[in-house]
């Protein structure tokens, strides 16, 4: 382990975690040029920018398929593996399913200590064990920059699939994890935050959305997505455009990780946040006088973030109360209105 401690994995990567995603605007321009592939049993494809694909096997069973991989977001290899796996598994939870099978996807430098590679894979296995999913193989290639993630298969009742495109006017938006991981990951690279704040960010990223998903299933909700690389505003934008509504995000209601606001005030903001802001800029109205640090946090690319749930107002308080019994940080962050001039309004 002594040798592991000498290597800072984040120094081997140009970008970390979900901040390494291709800019959504650039990605959309490419995807629009591809022909649409159809199948009568394909329930969810990439046309609504949802979290995973869903394929109906029969009237009682649907397959949920996703893949997620990114460069190191933290230096400890075991934590890196846990976070990458939790992030990949989250897509299945966001669709209302249960992850069951996973394949490792690994890119690794030839000269990296094998003990580090082992710890990364151990971290991924740790999260899969908690999720009740089985890692049954995978694929690895040589690369100058480490990258790790999972291809995950899950299952659900076709009639109970959750998507990001069913939000309705009058709904309340609940977020199940605190924001600020991209900012704090940037700060961690420069040793700018207290160890307790770093631990809080790592613990949040490594936490499965399993418990939140179990609770959400007990309520009639209209839309769900997980908040990752496109930030709270970006994933809310996808929900709003897919649902044909306007989403109002209240900057004063955000749950924040320790020191996230302080770092944002200092300008410790990852490039991905500016990319997200550039992409959404024409689709969002921001009220005058909103704190810039708070809006930076709202555009901040999250790694293994929480579930964003659009729930009818009459059920919101009951859902929030039940979530908070297990997840105290769960918070109302906004609400849904009839479609207005732009899909997003930040207040």
Say if residues 91 and 51 touch (Cβ distance below 8 Å): yes
Query: 116 to each of 4, 13, 60, 111, 136, how far by Cα in Å?
Result: 6, 15, 42, 11, 21
How much is the pLDDT for 77? 95
Say if residues 182 and 18 touch (Cβ distance below 8 Å): yes
How much is the pLDDT for 30? 75
Concatenated DSSP letters of 305-331: --EEEEE-HHHHHHHHHHHHHH-TT-E
How much is the pLDDT for 190? 87
**Which residues contact residue 278 at a Cβ distance below 8 angstroms, ignoring those fewer than 6 apart?**
23, 25
Q: What is 172-346's CATH topology?
A: Phosphoribosyl-aminoimidazole Synthetase; Chain A, domain 2 (3.90.650)
Residues of the chain with pLDDT under 50: 1-5
Q: What is 2-160's CATH topology?
A: 60s Ribosomal Protein L30; Chain: A; (3.30.1330)
Catalytic positions, written as ranges: 18
- Report d(CA 240, CA 315) in Å as an integer: 20
Nearest to 331 by CA among 218, 269, 249, 217: 249
How much is the pLDDT for 28? 67
Q: How many CB atoms lie within 10 A of CB 121?
A: 20
- Over the stretch 206-254, which tens digit does the pLDDT of each residue have? 999 999 999 999 999 999 999 999 999 999 999 999 999 999 999 999 9
**pTM (two decimals):** 0.90
Say if residues 272 and 73 touch (Cβ distance below 8 Å): no
| In the chain, domain spans | 2-160, 172-346
How much is the pLDDT for 22? 60
């Amino acid at each position: 382990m002594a040798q592991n401690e000498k290597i800072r994995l984040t120094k081997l990567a140009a970008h970390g975690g979900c901040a390494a995603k291709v800019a959504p605007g650039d990605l959309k321009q490419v995807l629009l040029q591809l022909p649409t592939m159809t199948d009568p049993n394909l329930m969810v494809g990439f046309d609504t920018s949802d979290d995973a694909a869903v394929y109906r096997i029969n009237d009682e069973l649907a397959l949920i398929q996703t893949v997620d991989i990114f460069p190191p977001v933290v230096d400890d290899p075991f934590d890196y593996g846990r976070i990458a796996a939790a992030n990949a598994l989250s897509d299945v939870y966001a669709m209302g399913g249960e992850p069951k099978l996973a394949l490792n996807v690994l890119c690794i430098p030839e000269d990296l200590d094998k003990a580090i590679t082992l710890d990364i894979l151990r971290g991924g296995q740790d999260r899969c064990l908690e999720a009740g999913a089985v890692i049954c193989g995978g694929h690895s290639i040589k690369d100058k920059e480490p990258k790790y993630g999972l291809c995950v298969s899950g299952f659900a009742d076709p009639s109970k699939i959750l998507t990001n495109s069913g939000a309705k006017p009058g709904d309340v938006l609940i977020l199940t994890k605190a924001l600020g991981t991209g900012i704090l990951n940037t700060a961690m690279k420069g040793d700018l935050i207290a160890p307790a704040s770093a631990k809080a960010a790592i613990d949040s990223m490594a936490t499965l959305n399993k418990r939140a998903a179990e609770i959400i299933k007990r309520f009639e909700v209209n839309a769900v997505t997980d908040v990752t690389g496109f930030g709270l505003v970006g994933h809310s934008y996808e929900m709003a455009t897919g649902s044909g509504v306007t989403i109002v995000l209240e900057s004063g209601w955000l749950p924040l990780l320790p020191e996230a606001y302080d770092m944002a005030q200092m300008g410790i903001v990852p490039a991905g946040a500016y990319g997200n802001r550039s992409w959404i800029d024409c689709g969002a109205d921001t009220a005058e006088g909103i704190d810039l640090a708070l809006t930076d946090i709202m555009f901040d690319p999250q790694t293994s973030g929480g579930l964003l749930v659009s729930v009818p107002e009459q059920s919101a308080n009951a859902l929030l109360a039940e979530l908070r019994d297990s997840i105290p940080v769960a918070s109302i962050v906004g609400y849904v209105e009839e479609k207005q001039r732009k899909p997003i309004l930040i207040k």
